[in-house]
Amino acid sequence: MTQGTTPGPLGLDPLLLEVLACPDTHHSPLTVDEAASELLCTTCDRAFPVRNGIPVLLLDEARRRGGTGTDTP
């Protein structure tokens, strides 16, 4: 019985967060943006959504951050 496992940001398992990586070829570690409920890759500036506590690490689902900002306001 393991107890005391406090959920991490966005309800994600801290151990899971440690092994999460960008699905792109660089496989960079991801950082959590709690305000946006997203996981950020600092290498390619993609943001991956977290839905129902499950990170969606798909390039098709990723959102490009930074840059020109011609996306949705």
Q: Which is nearer to Zn ion, 44 or 56 (CB)?
A: 44
Binding-site ranges for Zn ion (CB under 5 A): 22, 24, 41, 43-44
Compare residues 6 and 26 and give the one whose CB is closer to Zn ion.
26
* Nearest distance from C-beta of residue 2 to Zn ion, angstroms: 32
Q: Do the beta carbons of residue 30 and residue 40 sit within 8 Å?
A: yes
Q: Extract the tokens encoding 1.
A: 């019985």
Distance of closest approach, residue 4 Cβ to Zn ion, in angstroms: 33
Q: How far is the CB of 32 from Zn ion (least distance, A)?
A: 14
